[in-house]
Amino acid sequence: MALNLKKWFNIREGLQMLTDVDSASDRYALLQRNIRILMIVLTIVPLSMMALINYHQYQSSLREEIITPETLLANKTRHSFEFFLKERQSLIKSISYFYSYDQLSDQKTLNHILFTLKKEFGGFVDLGLINGADGTQLCYAGPYNLLGKNYADQGWFQEAMLKGTYISDVFMGYRKFPHIAIAVQRLEQSGRSWIVRTTIDTTMFDNLIAAMGLDAESDAFILNKDGILQTDSRLYGKVLEHCPLTIPRGGHATYVEERKDPSGRDIFLTYTHFTYPEYTLVIVKPESTVLKTWYALKSDLFFVFLASSILIVYVVFRLTGIMVNRIREADQNRELAFRELQHHHKLSSIGRLAAGVAHEINNPLAIINEKAGLIKDLIEYTTDFKQKEKFSSLIAAILQSVSRCRTITHRLLGFAKRMEVEIEKLDLNELLEEVLGFLEKEALYRNIDIALELAKDLPRIDSDRGQLQQVFLNILNNAMAAVEDEGKISITTWEKDADTIAVSIRDNGCGMSDETLRHIFEPFFTTKREHGTGLGLSITYGIVKKLGGDIEVMSKEHEGTTFNVFLPKKPNA
């Protein structure tokens, strides 16, 4: 697996292949792929790590930030409840101390106290005095007729007697309103004990919960130690119903939990236990509201991550594409330049060799010429020479061959000559017309249509008149040879750019094969066999290059050939 992966990835080889010109053609694709993979891995991995770290850090710090207000709220509310109960309890305790047993036994006084309590504090329903010794209701102010009722067996009586105070759980009382009962025991020094007991409705509980200012989705309620609702819950039932949530007992801190409630909602649960009575305040919020900021942050984080990833991938793809294309272009240019250099080198070395050969051949050629000429002269001056005609024709053939050789050696020398370029200002259009003058007769005779499309205000250039004549004569000669009788040759001139003017010579002749096209500027390459030296176009090429110009040729078999010659306005510019 690891080996396969290595082979597939192949970065080193991919990079090496760059320097190896002859390797597989898809090396650029491979290189492009590898660079992309590498760059994406190098950028996305750290980005992902950053995103993950941020995610966790934000999560923990935000959790703190969310929990703190929840616990604060729970604590505050618990304190309010405890304060409320403590206040009521103290009030009853004060009454038991401020009033004597006898005073409290007086129905009138008791009614008055209840009236005052109702008026000043609210929520008080009744007030009663119970004998501590036997648990009988001695005096009672309130809506029920409870006088004489015995409480000796009831739990709250025993607890009040034992602990001195008692606060009951909520129960349904008078007019079907939830109530709690508070009882306070008073033990006189004489040993007589009695209990003051009051019932308070729990509207105040609802007020305290409302004061928390919870939103519509949230819920807060009080549970007793058995899990019975002491106030109405929006989500988990009415008062005195059993709450389906199980809240763990024990502990005096405020606890925060995330959990699913019995109906499957994700809730954020905050609860705190009262010191006395054993109530529990529970705040329930849907997780979505509490964690709203976190969710927003999370989606922001995710969006930023996604957007940057997409951006990175896009940029990497585009950039790598551009880069690899540039590399490919540079390679191609280099190869092209190399090929051109090679070509040029080949041409010039062949030229030097050719010149040397031409020089050496010229002398023996001159001897052959003179010897054969002498024989010819001798035959001609001798009147009674047998087979005179036969000899004459033989000699003529020799002289003709010498003449052909001379053409070759002279052209070779011309090709090799490091001629000094004679620069003058010249009008290329004029020059072309001059050259056409040489060919006019042949064109007329063969009915060849020569069309001139010369740019009117072609700038004059600095170049060598004689050599340019040679160039265009060579190209036009080839064009004339290529076209049939009644063929067409068109010559166009134009200003290519600020430094260059161009001449295009197009014929509709036989054209060339790609193979021919490849060798066209090489010396001794000819398709004319007997009639050509194969030097014309190589000389043309040499001259154009020497003059700082360029020449290009396009050809299609049976359709024709176009030569474009580009010449600088100023030499060596």
Partner 1 sequence: MKEMKVLLVDDEEEFVKALSERMKMRDVDSEVALGGEEALKTMDEKLPDVMVLDLKMPGIDGMEVLRRAKKAYPGVQIIMLTGHGSEKDEKEARRLGVFEYLQKPVSIEQLMKTVTEAYKKKFEDAMSAAAFAESGEFDTAKEILDRDKK
Minimum distance, C-beta of residue 391 to partner 1, in the bound complex (Å): 16
304 vs 396 by CB, closer to partner 1 = 396
What is the footprint of partner 1 within residues 164-203 (CB under 8 A)?
Answer: none
Query: Is residue 452 at the binding interface for partner 1, with CB under 8 A as the rule?
Result: no
Instruction: State which of residues 96, 199, 230, 369 lies at the interface with partner 1 (CB under 8 A).
Output: 369
Query: Is residue 396 at the binding interface for partner 1, with CB under 8 A as the rule?
Result: no
Query: Is residue 399 at the binding interface for partner 1, with CB under 8 A as the rule?
Result: yes
Query: Is residue 436 at the binding interface for partner 1, with CB under 8 A as the rule?
Result: no
Query: Is residue 532 at the binding interface for partner 1, with CB under 8 A as the rule?
Result: no
Minimum distance, C-beta of residue 533 to partner 1, in the bound complex (Å): 16
203 vs 403 by CB, closer to partner 1 = 403
405 vs 458 by CB, closer to partner 1 = 405
CB 175 within 8 A of CB 144: no
Ranges of beta strands (E only) in 414-540 are 424-426, 449-453, 461-463, 488-497, 500-507
Q: For residue 200, give every residue at least 6 positions away whose Cβ sits within 8 Å of its Cβ, in sequence order, or none.
A: 88, 123, 124, 125, 179, 180, 181, 182
Tell me how far apart the 2 most distant CA atoms of the chain are, in Å: 194
Query: Is residue 373 at the binding interface for partner 1, with CB under 8 A as the rule?
Result: yes
Helix or strand or coil: residue 254?
A: strand
Instruction: From 4-12, 153-161, 224-232, 402-410, give the range in contact with partner 1 by CB under 8 A.
Output: 402-410
377 vs 557 by CB, closer to partner 1 = 377
Instruction: State which of residues 322, 367, 451, 573 lies at the interface with partner 1 (CB under 8 A).
Output: 367
- How many positions of this chain bind partner 1 (CB under 8 A)? 25
Separation of alpha carbons 279 and 86, rounded Å: 13
Minimum distance, C-beta of residue 417 to partner 1, in the bound complex (Å): 5
212 vs 413 by CB, closer to partner 1 = 413
Instruction: From 44-52, 239-247, 272-280, 367-375, give the range in contact with partner 1 by CB under 8 A.
Output: 367-375
Query: Is residue 397 at the binding interface for partner 1, with CB under 8 A as the rule?
Result: no
Instruction: State which of residues 257, 370, 449, 552 lies at the interface with partner 1 (CB under 8 A).
Output: 370
What is the footprint of partner 1 within residues 405-424 (CB under 8 A)?
Answer: 405-406, 410, 413, 417-420
Helix H or strand E segment including 155 = helix 155-163
116 vs 403 by CB, closer to partner 1 = 403
Radius of gyration of the chain from Cα atoms?
Answer: 59
Separation of alpha carbons 291 and 260, rounded Å: 15
Instruction: From 83-91, 132-140, 308-316, 396-404, give the range in contact with partner 1 by CB under 8 A.
Output: 396-404
Minimum distance, C-beta of residue 535 to partner 1, in the bound complex (Å): 16
What is the footprint of partner 1 within residues 327-366 (CB under 8 A)?
Answer: 359, 362-363, 365-366
CB 275 within 8 A of CB 82: yes
Minimum distance, C-beta of residue 567 to partner 1, in the bound complex (Å): 22
Instruction: From 22-30, 225-233, 285-293, 399-407, give the range in contact with partner 1 by CB under 8 A.
Output: 399-407
Minimum distance, C-beta of residue 352 to partner 1, in the bound complex (Å): 13
Instruction: From 41-49, 400-408, 425-433, 543-551, give the range in contact with partner 1 by CB under 8 A.
Output: 400-408
Q: Taken in order 302, 307, 312, 318, is the CA torsion positive or negative?
A: positive
Minimum distance, C-beta of residue 33 to partner 1, in the bound complex (Å): 58
CB 479 within 8 A of CB 520: no
Tokens of 521: 């500027």
Query: Is residue 79 at the binding interface for partner 1, with CB under 8 A as the rule?
Result: no
CB 221 within 8 A of CB 236: yes
241: phi > 0 → left, psi -120 to 50 → alpha, else beta; which?
Answer: beta
Helix H or strand E segment including 562 = strand 560-568
Query: Is residue 56 at the binding interface for partner 1, with CB under 8 A as the rule?
Result: no
What letter does residue 169 receive in the DSSP assignment? P
Query: Is residue 383 at the binding interface for partner 1, with CB under 8 A as the rule?
Result: no
Minimum distance, C-beta of residue 402 to partner 1, in the bound complex (Å): 6
Where does 382-423 have alpha helices with state H?
388-416
* 127 CB-side CA count, 13 A: 25
In 3D space, the residue among 378, 399, 398, 379 whose CA is nearest the CA of residue 387 turns out to be 379
Minimum distance, C-beta of residue 483 to partner 1, in the bound complex (Å): 33
Query: Is residue 146 at the binding interface for partner 1, with CB under 8 A as the rule?
Result: no
Exposure string of 334-351, with b = 16+ CB inside 10 Å and e = fewer, is eeeeeeeeeeeeebeebb
Separation of alpha carbons 447 and 445, rounded Å: 5
Q: For residue 390, give every residue at least 6 positions away whose Cβ sits within 8 Å of its Cβ, in sequence order, or none.
A: none
**Residue position matching structure tokens 């923990």:** 60
199 vs 533 by CB, closer to partner 1 = 533
Instruction: State which of residues 94, 288, 299, 403 lies at the interface with partner 1 (CB under 8 A).
Output: 403
Using CA atoms of 68, 69, 73, 75 in order, give the dihedral in degrees to the nearest 10: 20
Separation of alpha carbons 210 and 219, rounded Å: 10
Instruction: State which of residues 39, 214, 368, 394 lies at the interface with partner 1 (CB under 8 A).
Output: 368
35 vs 547 by CB, closer to partner 1 = 547
Which residues are near partner 1 by CB under 8 A? 359, 362-363, 365-371, 373-374, 377, 381, 399, 402-403, 405-406, 410, 413, 417-420
